[in-house]
Amino acid sequence: MILFTRIGEERLRLVLWAFYARATGDDLLGPVFTRKIGPFPRAGWPVHMTRLEGFWRAVTGGPSTYRGQPGPAHMGLGIAPEHFDRWLILWEESVREQLDPPEADALLYLAQRMRPNLERFTQTLPDDGSPASPSHDR
């Protein structure tokens, strides 16, 4: 059975809102989100959450009109490997809190598989495409 069908739209939405509530309150991730989107759950969050729901519907095999590019969207945010480590920790907490183990495991696996692609884009500067300096040099 398709993962989206097993999770359902409402539970997927609950996972996303629970995760972003947790992430925006985090000392490491929160400032990144606030700088880019504004204070949670207002500012640009309703639009951002609609986009994220579309993305995760598409990733899980559900109906979606998502046509974004997640990699380039993460460029120039000043994020480093430790941000991705924390993202996965908080994502795992959120999916395990909201879903049954098989579905939680599947969403965690998908996020883990996304990490290298997203991380690759954070190592490129958006203006000229040249590699960014390592995070410890910033």
Which pLDDT does position 39 carry in this prediction? 94
Whether 91 is in a domain gets the answer: no
Whether 36 is in a domain gets the answer: yes
Number of domains in the chain: 1
Q: pLDDT (tens digit, 9 = 90+) per residue, 49-96? A: 999 999 999 999 999 988 888 778 777 888 999 999 999 999 999 999
Q: pLDDT (tens digit, 9 = 90+) per residue, 12-59? A: 999 999 999 999 999 999 999 999 999 999 999 999 999 999 999 999
Instruction: Indicate which CATH number applies to the domain containing 37.
Output: 1.10.490.10
Alpha carbon distance 110, 102 (integer Å): 12
Whether 90 is in a domain gets the answer: no
Alpha carbon distance 88, 90 (integer Å): 5
Whether 87 is in a domain gets the answer: no
Tell me the helices (H) and strands (E) count for the chain, helix number first: 7, 0
| Domain enclosing residue 54, as ranges | 3-78+98-137
Higher pLDDT, residue 74 or 9: 9
Which pLDDT does position 5 carry in this prediction? 98
Whether 83 is in a domain gets the answer: no
